[in-house]
Amino acid sequence: MRDVAIIGVGCTEFGELWDKSFRELFVEAGVSAIEDANVQGGKIDALYVGNMSGGRFIEQEHLGALIADYSGLASLHIPSTRVEAACASGGLALRQGIIAVASGYHDIVIAGGAEKMTDVGVETTTDALAAAADREWEGIMGATFPGLYAMIARLHMHKYGTTQEQLAAVAVKNHHNGTMNPKAQFQNEISVETVLNSVMVADPLRVFDCSPITDGASAVVLAPAEIAHKFTDTPIYVKASAQASGTISLHDRPDITTLDATVAAANWAYKMAKTTPKGIDFAEVHDCFTIAEICAIEDLGFVKKGEGGKATESGLTALGGKIPINPSGGLKACGHPVGATGVKQAVEITLQLRGEAGKRQIDGAEIGLTHNVGGSGGTAVVHIFGRDR
Amino acid sequence: MSVPRFWRRLKNLYNLIGTHCKKCGGFFYPPRNMCPKCRRNGVIVPFKFKGAGEVVTFTIVHSAAKDYAKLTPYILAIIKLDEGPRLTSQVICSHEDIHIGMKVKSAFRKLGEESDRGMIYYGTKFIPVES
Place B3 in a pLDDT band, splitting at 50, 70 and 90: confident
Buried b (16+ CB within 10 A) or exposed e, A151-185: bbbbbbbeebebebebbbbbbbbbbbbbbbbebbb
Fold agreement between A4-121+214-236 and A133-212+239-386: yes
Express the helix, strand and coil content of chain A in percent, nearest 5 each.
Answer: 40, 20, 40
Task: Give the CATH number of the domain where residue B68 resides.
Answer: 2.40.50
pLDDT at B68: 86
Angle, helices A338-354 vs A89-102, to 10°: value is: 60
Catalytic residue list contains A106? no
Residue B29 lies in a domain: no
pLDDT at A212: 97
A171 backbone φψ class: left, alpha, beta (φ>0; ψ -120 to 50)? alpha
Q: What is the pLDDT along chain A (389 residues), one digit of tens a residue?
A: 999 999 999 999 999 999 999 999 999 999 999 999 999 989 999 999 999 999 999 999 999 999 999 999 999 999 999 999 999 999 999 999 999 999 999 999 999 999 999 999 988 898 899 999 999 999 999 999 999 999 999 999 999 999 999 999 999 999 999 999 999 999 999 999 999 999 999 999 999 999 999 999 999 999 999 999 999 999 999 999 999 999 999 999 999 999 999 999 999 999 999 999 999 999 999 999 999 999 999 999 999 999 999 999 999 999 999 999 999 999 999 999 999 999 999 999 999 999 999 999 999 999 999 999 999 999 999 999 999 98
Element housing B55 (H / E): strand B52-61
Pairwise CA distance, residues A290 & A330, whole Å: 10
Catalytic residue list contains A87? yes
pLDDT at B131: 63
Domain limits, chain A: 4-121+214-236, 133-212+239-386
What count of other Cβ atoms lies within 10 Å of the Cβ of residue A24? 16
CB contact under 8 A, A136 and B111: no
Is the ipTM reported for this complex over the cut 0.90? yes
3-state secondary structure (DSSP) of residue B53: strand
pLDDT at B101: 98
Amino acid letter for position A297? I
CB contact under 8 A, A144 and B64: yes
A209-224 pLDDT, tens digit per residue, is 999 999 999 999 999 9
Residue B14 in this model has a pLDDT that exceeds 80: yes
Residue B81 in this model has a pLDDT that exceeds 80: yes
Measured between beta carbons, which residues in chain B are less than 8 angstroms from residue A252? 86
Residue B115 in this model has a pLDDT that exceeds 80: no
Architecture of domain A133-212+239-386: 3-Layer(aba) Sandwich (3.40)
In the DSSP assignment, the letter for residue A228 is G
pLDDT at A77: 97
- Can you say whether the dihedral through the CA atoms of A67, A73, A75, A81 is positive or negative? negative
User: What is the distance in angstroms between the CA of the first residue and the CA of the last residue of chain A?
Assistant: 14
The structural domain count of chain B equals 1
Angle, helices A290-299 vs A260-272, to 10°: value is: 50
Place B118 in a pLDDT band, splitting at 50, 70 and 90: confident
Pairwise CA distance, residues A51 & A82, whole Å: 7
Query: Exactly one of A286, A336, A371, A383 is catalytic; which is it?
Result: A336
Domain that holds residue B62: 51-128
pLDDT at A123: 83
Residues B82-92 have a mean pLDDT of 98
CB contact under 8 A, B78 and A150: no
Measured between CA atoms, the residue of chain B closest to residue A125 is B65
Measured between CA atoms, the residue of chain A closest to residue B5 is A136
CB contact under 8 A, A126 and B9: no
- The answer to whether B101 contacts chain A (CB < 8 Å) is no
CB contact under 8 A, B78 and A256: yes
pLDDT at A142: 93
Q: Which of B13, B14, B76 to mutate to test the interface with A (most CBs of A within 10 A)?
A: B76
Architecture of domain A4-121+214-236: 3-Layer(aba) Sandwich (3.40)
Residue B35 lies in a domain: no
Residue B57 lies in a domain: yes
Q: In what order do the strands lie in the sheet with A46-50?
A: A80-83, A46-50, A109-115, A216-224, A4-11, A236-245, A379-386, A367-374, A282-284
Residues B27-51 have a mean pLDDT of 97
B58-79 pLDDT, tens digit per residue, is 999 999 887 888 899 999 999 9
Pairwise CA distance, residues A27 & A82, whole Å: 15
Measured between beta carbons, which residues in chain A are less than 8 angstroms from residue B68? 142
Angle, helices A63-70 vs A22-37, to 10°: value is: 60
